[in-house]
């Protein structure tokens, strides 16, 4: 009996391995079942049409649960599974880059936080707390702004740093536009943070802006 299109991703996985499957075929295995008039593969292609074409599966970071459920054959359970798959990709990326993570190297820090932050649709500020050997004590989101403006409170930042016995700190925030060029507000706020850090004796080592596969380090630019 001839196999249907819905069987092909499974067959290909077994015969030639997952690395040889397309994004749609991989997603079809997660979707698993079709509905009348739609195979898992055709449903998966419809899902990927919601994403940025050049990003493939990674483009699903921007797709909401409601948008996924607008696709015929995708209910709440499947939509949640797909969003979990996206979160797995974030965590795998961080785990892989953590092995070579050095908080003294801006490129290493940017690589570690890139997948976590480059897909965000609003600005977020992440505070990184370090010990005396520049090892990670904790990181946390301290501000979620609007589409183009984040809010950073020196009081809240250094209150957290003191509570965690941090010896130094780093700041990161994303630009949803994908362009990591610092704004005048970014520069002024960083200067303010730098002055406060000197008074409290918890140095601000760097402020890194995350764009779309690009970043700007205030340290590298001589802005800090």
- Is pTM beyond 0.85? Reply is no
Q: What are phi and psi of 188, to 5 degrees?
A: -65, -45
Q: CA angle 143-86-29, nearest 5°?
A: 165
How far CA 19 is from CA of 9, 16, 46, in Å, comes to: 12, 8, 21
Could you give the strand order of the β-sheet that contains 124-130, starting from the edge strand earlier in sequence? 136-144, 124-130, 168-174, 204-210, 215-217
Residues 112, 101 contacting (CB under 8 angstroms): yes
For β-strands 204-210 and 168-174, DSSP reports them as parallel
CB-based contacts of 183, cutoff 8 Å, min separation 6: none
Residue 129 is predicted with a pLDDT of 96
pLDDT tens digits, the chain, 224 residues: what are they? Answer: 344 444 589 889 999 998 899 999 999 999 999 999 999 999 999 999 988 666 677 778 778 999 999 999 999 999 999 999 888 877 776 776 666 688 999 999 999 999 889 888 899 999 999 999 999 999 999 988 865 656 677 888 999 999 999 999 999 999 999 999 999 999 999 999 999 999 999 999 999 999 999 999 999 999 98
How far is Cα 123 from Cα 79, in angstroms, rounded to an integer?
25
Residue 6 is predicted with a pLDDT of 44
């Amino acid at each position: 009996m001839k196999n249907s299109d819905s069987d092909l991703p499974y067959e290909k996985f077994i015969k030639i391995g997952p690395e040889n499957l397309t994004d749609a075929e991989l997603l079809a295995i997660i979707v698993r079942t079709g509905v009348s008039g739609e195979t898992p593969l055709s449903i998966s292609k419809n899902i990927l049409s919601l994403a940025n074409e050049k990003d493939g599966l990674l483009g699903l970071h921007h797709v909401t649960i409601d948008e996924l459920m607008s696709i015929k054959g995708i209910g709440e359970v499947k939509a949640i599974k797909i969003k979990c798959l996206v979160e797995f990709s974030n965590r795998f990326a961080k785990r892989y880059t953590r092995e070579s993570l050095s908080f003294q190297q801006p490129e290493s820090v940017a690589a570690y936080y890139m997948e976590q932050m480059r897909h965000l649709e609003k600005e977020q500020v992440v505070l990184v707390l370090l010990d005396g050997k520049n090892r990670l004590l904790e990181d946390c989101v301290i501000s979620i702004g609007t589409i183009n403006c984040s809010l950073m409170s020196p009081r809240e930042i250094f209150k957290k740093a003191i509570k965690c016995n941090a010896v130094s700190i780093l700041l990161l925030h994303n630009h949803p536009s994908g362009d990591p060029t610092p704004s005048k507000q970014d520069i002024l706020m960083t200067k303010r943070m730098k002055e406060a850090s000197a008074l409290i004796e918890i140095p601000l080592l760097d402020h890194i802006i995350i764009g779309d596969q690009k970043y700007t380090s205030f340290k590298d630019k001589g802005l800090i």
